[in-house]
Amino acid sequence: MRKTILLLCACLCCTVAVLAQNVQGVRQDKERTCILDDELKYIKDCNILTSAQYADFDKSYREYHAKKNEIKHEIRNLRRQTRDKDLSDEELLLLINKIDSNQMALAVLNQSYHYKYLEIMSAKQYVQINKARRDFKRAALEKLKSSKK
């Protein structure tokens, strides 16, 4: 009887831990989506693109962000794995090479989407969009800093 109760308690604890991780992951995904939505709204409010251009840009930018986040998530996981003190030099070298491959894939992704954006808009508009993105990020960081004080 005691063993059964202990086993049930252990299962319950594990279930709660797994559910908590899932909730945290969902919350982070929602926050990321909210930030992306705010960034795209900021870009739209800058009136750099026509509505047709903006619709194409919005779709491409969301697609780009999803792929970029996937690669960055993989890089973070690989970097976490390198902290393991029990890894051999060969295993560490393999992880380092995977990190490098992912970083190169990220660079290729960036370049391919730059070309995709230039099919949607002029180079001048592209530069203005990048400036608007930097301005948004700067303002968001300032807002975050001021809210922590």
Segments in the chain forming alpha helices (H): 2-45, 51-81, 89-120, 123-148
Query: Taking 80 as the threshold, does the pLDDT of residue 147 lie above it?
Result: yes
Instruction: Determine which of 57-71, 89-103, 134-148 has the lowest per-residue pLDDT on average.
Output: 134-148
**Is pLDDT above 70 for 143?**
yes
Contact 49, 121 (CB under 8 A): yes
pLDDT tens digit sequence for 60-73:
999 999 999 999 99
pTM of this structure: 0.73
Task: Specify the pLDDT at position 148.
Answer: 84
Q: Is 121 left (phi over 0), alpha (psi -120 to 50) or beta?
A: beta
Average pLDDT, whole number, for the chain? Answer: 87
Instruction: In whole angstroms, give the CA distance from residue 118 to residue 2.
Output: 68
Residue 96 near residue 82, CB atoms below 8 Å: yes
DSSP string, 100-122: HHHHHHHHHHHHHHHHHHHHHS-
| Count of beta carbons in the 10 Å neighbourhood of residue 48 | 20
